[in-house]
Structure 1
Amino acid sequence: MSTVGLVVEYNPLHNGHLYHVQQSRKITDADAAIAVMSGHFLQRGEPAIADKWARAEMALRAGCDLVLELPVAYSAQPAQWFAYGAVAALAATGVCDALCFGSESGDAAALSRVADRLAAEPESMRLRLGELLKAGLPYPTAYADAARELLAAEGQADAAFGLSQPNHTLGLHYLLALRRLGSPIKAYSIRREKSDYNQASITDAAIASATALRKLIGEAGGALDGLAPYAPAATLEILRREAAAGRAPVAWAHFARPLFHLLGSLPASELAAYAEVTEGLEHRIKGALRELRSWRVDELLDLLKTKRYTRTKLQRTLARILLGHRKEDLDGERLAGGVQYIRVLGFTARGQALLKRMKKTAAVPVVHSAADGDWPFLAMDARATAVYAAAFAAGRPADAWRDYTEPPVRV
């Protein structure tokens, strides 16, 4: 059984995602699709609109066969570690033959040529990257600029096309991760159609970005009917069920009280110990708190944002503080060690057959519950679920412990 791996968030799953699943299986001639999906906190530092089990069900009903959780240690990271964790999870299954990601160009071969040059991290590029970061550029921009300069100096300027575009950046880091892990997984890419990754406006009758759909839901006061033209019927059905249970839609606003409690009660010296709090950001946070006119996370982000501190960087910072993730929990050595386990969120009958194969091929233990092991990253996932459950409008104390009690979704 040939398999293709997908790295996803599905926040929420929409028609563009459905196209990606279908085309990925088609161009790789795969019999099955494995999705590595972020849990409750996502790559841009945002909380997911619905919990990971609901989104796993969306994935399964859209054509994925096995959904694995990307640990929160990796899911709320900049592109390089997010990609590394996801690719490490796919490689660890021992059953993944291909990886297919969306990009602005759909040209995996061109990105592969860039990855071949950058995989060894040339010293000149590392030095230039450090200079650009000191000059105040955010990491994605600094990395893209340093890479372009290196390639231009070597007469390969054309190879650096589009590195500043978000899906090209992620795609490059998937390819770099494959090389650094020594994985034989073959990479493919599909061109994004009709909507950019972070496009907040809707310009097509059937395709819109997840960003635009979350904005649509927010402007509708949480109403979901507006999603109908842009998402599969199953997505709408699942979101309506979760909303009726008081578990969706979830947004940063639902975490304002616990977040501001932490930011206000912890001294700056303690804030500095948390992951993503860098270069004196703890003092900027304390200063911004005194300027607030309302207890709104969006207002805090607006006050904190600078050329260097992008909204995405700041959201990841707030997520790490909210979740209690300190710098030593997420140091480079721990992250470079790859996934410590494979957490199953859901499967189909075909996915169950893959799990049977993985008993022999997986490089790390395959688990269905947080009770199945005591790995640090798994404990972090369980704590993230407890924090996330506090946002539910009609939640129950038992929701905080679902990582121990909720079985994988079966479709």
Structure 2
Amino acid sequence: MKTVGIIVEYNPLHYGHVYHFEQAKSASGADAVIAVMSGHFLQRGEPALVNKWARAEMALRMGVDVVIELPAAFASQPAEWFAYGAVSALDASGVTDSLCFGSESGEIGWLERLAEVMHREPEGFGELLRQELSRGAAYPAAYSSAVSTLTGQPAEGLAQPNNTLGLHYLIALKRLKSSIRPLTITRRKAGYHQQEVTDSRIASATAIRKLLFEEKDLRAAARLLPDYTYAILEREWAAGRAPMSWERFAGPLFHTLLSRTAADLASISEMTEGLEHRIKRVLPLLDYSRPDQVGQLLAALKTKRYTQTKLQRTLLRILLHHSKYDLNREALALGVPYLRILGFTTRGRELLKRMKRVARVPIISKVTEESADFLQQDIRATSVYSLGYPTRNARDLFRDYYEPPLRL
């Protein structure tokens, strides 16, 4: 069974994702599709609109055969480690023949040439990167500029988010010495961060979420969503489990920020350059009578150096209590230590049987209290995510222990 891997968030799954799915199968000639999908919290440091099981169901109803959860340790990382964790999962499965990702350029040759240079982190790159950062550039811009200076590749192409992620997928494949064949397709009609709906059918997930939060009505996005996505969102809305946003976590977040010292916060992953002191200085200046407390905090902390994405990731590490020790480079460099299955189809069951024979890490369908450290982080992430629901119960808070993989 020829299998293509895709790396996704589906926040929510829309017609652009359907196009990527269809093109991935066509370009690879694959019979089956494995999706590595972020859990409750996403790469830009945001809570997902709906929980990981709802989004896994969207993927299966579209036609994905196996959905594997990308551990929270990797899912909310900058591009380098996000890509490395996701690619390591596909590689460890032992059954993935190709990886297909979307990009702005739609051309893989120049990215492969860059990856050949960059996967060894050539001499002088670290110093170039530090120089860019010292000038006040945010990390993505600093990285693009440093690569451009080193290789002569125009920085404009590298600055586009899907091209950047694609480069890191290719770097990860080389660092893992993976036999997976990379493929790319051109992203159509809506940019990754595009906030406005400009097409009658395809819009970015960012634009769809913006529309939903502004209109406060799921029907406003109906034309941009497949029927199964809409039905799943409608169910989660009715249950009060959507739409999830940072403001739903203001209580537990501010409890930690107000009860911990600056020294305590300094031990948190992503906390750099004295940001903990800046946070402590800002806290007394906020208007806590307003409903946008997290939004106020982000706005007050934001600078040219500290982008909203960087700050959201930092707040997320605080919320989930991810320490620098927990997420050190040595631990991340080992890749995913297990493959957590969120769901599968009938064809996916056959693929899973094969994976259980050849995968290089354990396949996990049932969570136990003796689970690995990264999986314990995912279990805690579920509990924290459930704190954002209007009513709470033990089954939601500890759902990882109760919920078997979804079967379609």
Q: Same fold (TM over 0.5)?
A: yes
Is the counterpart of residue 173 in structure 1 residue 168 in structure 2? yes
- The one-character-per-residue Cα deviations of 1:42-68 (angstroms, maximum 9, x if unpaired) are 000000000000000000111211000
Q: 2:209 aligns with which of 198, 207, 214?
A: 214
Q: Secondary structure at the match of 1:127?
A: helix
The DSSP-based 3-state class of the residue aligned with 1:327 is: coil
Q: Which position in structure 2 is the counterpart of 1:257?
A: 251
Partner of 1:384: 381
**What does 1:112-261 correspond to in 2, within 5 Å?**
112-152=112-152, 157=153, 162-221=157-216, 223-261=217-255
- Structure 1 spans left out of the alignment, 5+ residues: none
Aligned residues: 405
Contact 1:301 1:315 in 2 (8 A): yes
Please identify runs of 4+ aligned residues in structure 1 that moved more than 3 A. none
How far has the Cα of 1:215 moved from its partner?
0.7
Q: Provide the C-alpha distance between the structure 1 equivalents of 2:366 and 2:277, rounded to a whole number of angstroms.
A: 39
- Quick one: distance in 1 between partners of 2:156 and 2:184? 15
1:96-126 deviations in Å (ceiling 9; x for gaps): 0000001101112221111111111111111
Contact 1:246 1:395 in 2 (8 A): no
Aligned to 1:279: 273
Counterpart CA distance in 2 for 1:397 and 1:349 is 31
Task: State the alpha-carbon separation in 1 of the partners of residues 282 and 406 from structure 2.
Answer: 42
Q: Which residue, 330, 352, 356 being the options, matches 2:353?
A: 356
**TM-score, normalised via structure 1 length:** 0.97
Preserved contact between residue 370 and residue 379 of structure 1 (Cα < 8 Å): no
Summarize the alignment of residues 2-81 of structure 1 with structure 2, pairs less than 5 Å apart.
Answer: 2-81=2-81
Deviations along 1:302-340, one digit per CA (max 9) or x if unpaired, are 000001100000000000000010000000000001111
Q: Which amino acid aligns with 1:270?
A: D
Deviation at 1:393, TM superposition (A): 2.0
Deviation at 1:372, TM superposition (A): 7.3
Q: How far apart are the structure 2 equivalents of 1:251 and 1:409?
A: 25
Contact 1:93–1:361 (CA under 8 A) maintained in structure 2: yes
- Spell out, residue by residue over 1:177-224, the C-alpha distance to the aligned partner (whole angstroms, 9 max, x if none): 000000010001111111000111111110111111111110122x21
* Distance verdict in 2 for CA 1:180–1:372, change over 3 Å: farther
| RMSD after superposition | 1.1
Partner of 1:346: 343
Give deviations 1:110-168, integer Å, cap 9, x for gaps. 2111111111111111111122122221111111000000112xxxx36x660011111
Report the alpha carbon displacement of residue 373 of structure 1 after superposing the two structures with TM.
Answer: 4.6
Unaligned runs of 5+ in 2: none
Indicate the SS of the match to 1:100. Answer: strand
Partner SS for 1:228: helix
Q: Does 1:268 align with 2:262?
A: yes
What TM-score do the two structures reach when normalised by structure 2?
Answer: 0.97
The answer to which of 34-43 and 393-402 deviates more is 393-402
CA contact 1:247–1:395 (8 Å) conserved in 2: no
Instruction: For 1:59 and 1:41, locate their aligned partners in 2 and report how far apart those are by CA, in whole Å.
Output: 17
Find the aligned partners of 2:213 and 2:282 in 1 and give their Cα distance: 25
More displaced stretch, 294-303 vs 306-315 = 294-303
